[in-house]
Structure 1
Amino acid sequence: MKEELLATFSNHFEKPLIDEIMEEGRLMEVPAGETIMDIGQYIRSMPLLLSGAIKVLREDEEGDELLLYYLEQGETCSVTMACCMGQTKSEIRAIAETDSRLVMVPVQKMEEWMAKYKGWRNYVFESYQNRLNELLQTVDSIAFKNLDQRLVDYLKKKVEVTNDNQIRNTHQEIAYDLHTSRVVVSRLLKKLEKMKKLELHRNYIQIVNL
Structure 2
Amino acid sequence: MEKALLKEKFSNALDQDIINEILEVGSFKTFQKDDIIIDINQNLEYIPLLLSGNIKILREDSDGNELLIYFLEAGETCTMSLTCCMGTSKSKIRAVAESNSSIVLIPVANMQIWFHSNHSWRNFILESYQSRFNEMLETIDNLAFLKMDQRLYHYLLNKAELNGSKTIIVKHLDISEDLHTSRVVISRLLKQLENENKIKLSRNKIEIL
* TM-score with structure 2 setting the length: 0.96
The secondary structure found in structure 1 opposite 2:189 is: helix
Partner in structure 2 of residue 185 of structure 1: 186
Partner in structure 2 of residue 32 of structure 1: 33
Separation in structure 1 between the aligned mates of residue 207 and residue 142 of structure 2, nearest angstrom: 24
* Pair 1:176 & 2:150 matched: no
Once superposed, which parts of structure 1, at least 4 consecutive aligned residues long, lie more than 4 Å away? Answer: none
The amino acid that maps onto 1:84 is C
State whether residues 34 and 96 of structure 2, in contact with CA within 8 Å, keep that contact through their aligned partners in structure 1.
Answer: yes
* Pair 1:156 & 2:157 matched: yes
Question: Identity percentage over the alignment?
Answer: 49
Partner in structure 2 of residue 49 of structure 1: 50
State whether residues 200 and 207 of structure 2, in contact with CA within 8 Å, keep that contact through their aligned partners in structure 1.
Answer: yes
The amino acid that maps onto 2:154 is D
The secondary structure found in structure 2 opposite 1:33 is: coil
Partner in structure 2 of residue 73 of structure 1: 74
The amino acid that maps onto 1:206 is E
Partner in structure 2 of residue 198 of structure 1: 199
Q: For each residue in 1:34-85, what CA deviation from the matched residue of structure 2 results, as whole angstroms up to 9, or x when unmatched?
A: 1111111111100001111100000111111110000001100000011111
Separation in structure 2 between the aligned mates of residue 73 and residue 3 of structure 1, nearest angstrom: 13
State whether residues 98 and 162 of structure 1, in contact with CA within 8 Å, keep that contact through their aligned partners in structure 2.
Answer: no
Report deviation, 1:196.
Answer: 2.1
Partner in structure 1 of residue 119 of structure 2: 118
The alignment yields a C-alpha RMSD, in angstroms, of 1.1
Number of equivalences: 208
The amino acid that maps onto 1:145 is L
Report deviation, 1:205.
Answer: 2.0
Partner in structure 1 of residue 15 of structure 2: 14
The amino acid that maps onto 1:131 is R
Report deviation, 1:204.
Answer: 2.0
Separation in structure 1 between the aligned mates of residue 140 and residue 39 of structure 2, nearest angstrom: 22
* TM-score with structure 1 setting the length: 0.95
Please list every run of 5 or more consecutive structure 2 residues that lacks an aligned counterpart in the other structure: none
Separation in structure 1 between the aligned mates of residue 207 and residue 145 of structure 2, nearest angstrom: 27
Report deviation, 1:165.
Answer: 2.8
The secondary structure found in structure 1 opposite 2:194 is: helix
